[in-house]
Structure 1
Amino acid sequence: MLPLSMVGAGGKHLISRVTGKEDMKQHLADLGFVPGEEVQVISDTGDGNIIVNIKETRLGITSQMASKIMVD
């Protein structure tokens, strides 16, 4: 299990859990980051932001947020 911020661009991963404070977990759940969902890192912009593909939607999230999302 790795945080999403540590996986490279490309492969698809299953979310195993989301950590952090309740408000952060709720915000991520509202964006679709829930256990069992498939997520793919499209690119790491190098400035602390990560572009991901989840539920056929591309989102930009901070690396701090990505570190709360654990994937297999």
Structure 2
Amino acid sequence: MLLSMVSLGEIKKIKELRGKDSVKTHLQSLGFLPGEKIEVISENPSGIILLIKSTKIAINKAMANKIVVE
């Protein structure tokens, strides 16, 4: 399942990152690593706000489509 499909309040675990190496590296630098738990805490038409490692991070839907969760 893609992160962009996760409902508000759900907690999922990151399975893999997709996209170019530069995109994967950027996501990893923000803490998006396989095995990390992630929670969707807010969403709007342009993106979502996530809680990962006790940090709130906002990403757009295109970036959320590159993160596979389970």
Query: Which runs of at least 4 in structure 1 moved beyond 6 Å after TM superposition?
Result: none
Please give the TM-score of this superposition, normalised by the length of structure 1: 0.94
Query: Once the 2 structures are TM-superposed, how far is the Cα of residue 44 of structure 1 from its aligned partner?
Result: 1.1
Q: Which amino acid aligns with 1:67?
A: N
* Structure 1 residues not aligned, in runs of 5+: none
**1:59 is aligned to 2:57:** yes
Provide the aligned C-alpha RMSD in A.
Answer: 0.6
Q: Secondary structure of the residue that 1:70 maps to in structure 2? A: strand
How many pairs does the alignment contain?
70
Query: Once the 2 structures are TM-superposed, how far is the Cα of residue 55 of structure 1 from its aligned partner?
Result: 0.4
Please give the TM-score of this superposition, normalised by the length of structure 2: 0.96
- Counterpart in 2 of 1:22? 21
- Counterpart in 2 of 1:45? 44
